[in-house]
Structures are given as C-alpha cells and as structure tokens.
Amino acid sequence: MPHAVAKLNAFPIFLKVEGRAVTIVGGGDEALAKARLLAQSSAEIRIIADEIEPQLRDWIAANGALRVHAAYDASLIEGSVMVFAATGDEALDRSVSDDARRLGIVVNAVDRPELCDFFTPALVNRAPVAVAVGTEGAGPVLAQMIRARIDRMLSPNLGALATLAASFRETVESLPKGVVRRSFWREFFEGAPARTLDNGSLAEAHDAATEMLLRSAPGGGHGAGHVALVGAGPGAEDLLTLRAHRLLMEADVILYDALVPEAVISMGRRDAERLPVGKRKGCHSKTQSEINGLLVELALAGKRVVRLKSGDPLVFGRAGEEMQAMRDAGVSYEVVPGVTSAFAAAADFELPLTLRGVTSSMVFTTGHDLKGGSLPDWARLAITGATVAVYMGRSVAADVAGRLIEAGLSPDTAVAVVENASLKSRRRFHGTLADLPSLEGRSDLDGPVMTIIGDAVAGANFERSEPLSAHRQEVAAAAREGQRA
C-alpha cells in the first residue's frame, strides 16, 4: 500500500513586491528583524510606530525606509501588499491582523500563528534566485539549520549566473527544442560559464556561454569536458571545502586516491562513476602516466571529472604532471585547494606552526628526501629554527632523526606525531627528535603518519597524546632481554 503524501497547510508562493508597500507595525526588535528580512527585496518598506527603539531608528536612516510617526490606525496600512504585526502586544497585533484581513491584505503576526495568513521563511538569497524554507511556524530553528546547509551548497555567484542566463534566453530559443536545449542549459549552469564566474570573471563567463552556443548549434561540434583537481583534505568529510563539495555533486566521474576515505567519496553525485587510482607504498593500481591519460581521455569525451586527492593537490600530489598533461591536450581544468595534513595534524595538537619570537617559517617535506647522499635544503632550515612537517615519514623516521641530529639539530628538539590526522581514529604521540626512530618499529600504526619537528612544537597541547619515549624504552628493554637470552 503506497504511503500517503503529507499535505502542506501553507502553500509556498513568491509574491511580487517590487515598488509596492510592505508595512511593519511596531518599533522594537521584532519589527527590526522583519525590516532586515524585507530589505533583501525591492519592496518599499513602511514602518508604523509612535515609539521606536534606537537600533530600528538607525536602521531606517541607513536603509531609506519610511517611518510613519503615529499611533497605529487601520488607515495607515491601506494600499500595502503585505502587513507585519510586530508590536509585541497581543491585543494590538490581533487588531492589526483583523484590519488587514478586512482590507484584503495578507498579514503575518510575529510569533502568533493563529493570526497569520502566511509565514516568513528562512531565506537563501541569490537574487534573482531564492530558496525559501518553511515549517509552518512549527520549527523556526529547524528552518534556519536547513537554510544554512543550502546556503553552503550554493555558489555565492549563483545569482549573477542566473542573470547571465536570462540575457541568453532569447538567443538559446534558436537551438532545437528537447535534448540540445536542455544540454546547453545544463552545461551553462554546471560547466565553463559557472566555473569562470566562480573565479570572478563575468566577461569570461559570457565568452564561455557564447562559445557553448556556437558548439550547440547544428554542425557546431561536441561539448568539451573539464577536470577539477580537488583537495579532499586530511580525511574528515566536514573539512572538505564548499567548492570541492559542489564539484563532487556535479561530477560525471570521480578518480580518487587510496588515502581518500569513503565518507568523502560518497559526498559526490550518486550516479557518478567512481574509479580508484590510488598509489600506496608497494601497491600502485595505476601509474601516474595512466592517470594522466585517463583524465585527458575522459575530458575529451565531454565528461566532468573530479580528480580527488588526499590533502591539497599541490602538496606532494603530483598535480604538476597532471596539469601539464591537460595543457598539452588542450583540456580545461582547475585546481581546488584542500586542507593539507600538516594543518590538520597541528590542529589536532593545538600546535602553533609559527610562534612569535621562536620561529617564523615552516617546511613541508617527505622523509624520503633524506635518502640521497647530500643533505637537502630543508634540513638546513630546520637547524636555523623552521618548523618541519614531514609527510609519509614513519618508515624513514630513523633516517630523518639521524640525519638531522648529525647535521646539528638538537636531539632534544620537540616532535609531535599524528596518525590519521583529523579523524576520530587519530592517535597522537609526542617526544623529542631522539625518540623519533621508535616510530619505525610501530606495527600498530597502519594509517598515514604526519610528523612535525621544531621548537614551536613545545607549545602544543600534549594532554591527550602518548609519549614516544615509552615505546622507545619498551624496544630497548626487549632488545636487552633478547641479548640475555
């Protein structure tokens, strides 16, 4: 048996208010809240109050609203398209509501649903686009929570994009009806015009739409694809950027690294094709050359592709090779930054990466840089006081510590280590550079490990972390026991 469809007791509509009077009766905080809401429209705002709070008086002066300095009378609301009763006095609000209904004007009485013809929604404003969320007065806080989620999902430039679309409507009517026209508008709102406008260029968005129009005309060729190199952040899905989330929701194909959690991948469009292309130590599902070729192939086939990379694409993500491949093939692309793991690890430790009077610089590196015969430049920076963030450094912890100590960095230099930074499963360890080699023997650490070294680390919060020295002592004791045996 099919489920019964819930019936709305308040049907949502959009009422034309341009150049028409909307009247608010009241002079306090409730009237001010309604005035601020209505200021998002092109209505002529009229406020009736014989006594008025200073904040509302200042708002009227700053926003050009009309104040009617008089005690309420029914004649003062005549000609209004809407009326708000916001006096805070139940009897007066009821009188305003009764008068408005008698005059054929829809009315809202603040916090008095029984006196209302309509309810004010929680509003997401991307004029001329608007999203209104209502709960029929049952849950204003819930409406605000939903509004906040929708607000995060929508591009700040959506209104400008809709205005640009309106300027093309008449021209697009020349395209064949049906699939061709629908495909044009889909690409318009999700493709190059939207992307270029998000980057701040209305002129480029107009040019991109014009080029699309030429391609969409009979004999104009096929639509072009696009690749977004997107930073997935350190792992926690709520650290994904808003732009990254929007692109995931628009993607036809998502290529993701091995370190990107399923919770982040699942934030993409449900029907998007998902292809694992991750490379972990000792396990490469695809070579970098194959990944480059796949990105180009998918884009040339007209697909919108997201290349989802752990952390930030430009920090040890080999994005340079992928960008060069797309430039060589003439494929359009963009880069969306992500929260790199060093920042997440520092946040987990409440650790200042720079500290006034201690260090004013930092280095991102991998421990594998120390495998060569010569000491890399960053090691010298560490000795002069820079904070060093070492990515993927567990298996070479002894080399990192040994070479830095040999180069002159004190064995007592503070060290912080985080496994699975930003995730609930994270583990934190603290100690000194002399303790760092004990990491290599930690078979219990199977997640990505970030190591931060430097004098600024001493300012971290170590309350919820384990000392590296404890494991170091266990290893030493086990070694002595083995020798006696």
Active site (catalytic) residues: 257, 279
Q: What is the spatial distance between Cα 323 and Cα 295, in angstroms, rounded to a whole number? A: 10
CB 431 within 8 A of CB 468: yes
Q: What is the spatial distance between Cα 419 and Cα 426, in angstroms, rounded to a whole number? A: 5
Q: What share of the chain is helix, strand, coil (3-state, %, to 5)?
A: 45, 20, 40
CB neighbours of residue 214 within 10 Å: 10
Q: What is the spatial distance between Cα 219 and Cα 110, in angstroms, rounded to a whole number? A: 59
Bridge partners of 355, per DSSP, are: 359
CB 227 within 8 A of CB 267: no
- Centroid of chain to Cα 371: 38
Q: Phi first, then psi: give them for residue 101, nearest 5 degrees.
A: -65, -40
CB 241 within 8 A of CB 152: no
Tokens coding 223:
């639509």
CB 52 within 8 A of CB 67: yes
DSSP string, 329-396: HT-EEEEE----HHHHHHHHTT--SSBTTTB--EEEEEGGGGGSSSPPHHHHHHHTT-EEEEES-GGG
CB 189 within 8 A of CB 165: yes
Q: What is the spatial distance between Cα 259 and Cα 307, in angstroms, rounded to a whole number? A: 13
Q: What crossing angle do the helices spanning 202-216 and 179-190 adopt, rounded to 10°?
A: 160
First to last CA, the chain: 75
Q: Please calculate the CA angle 212-216-217 and round it to the nearest 5 degrees.
A: 120
The residue type of 60 is I
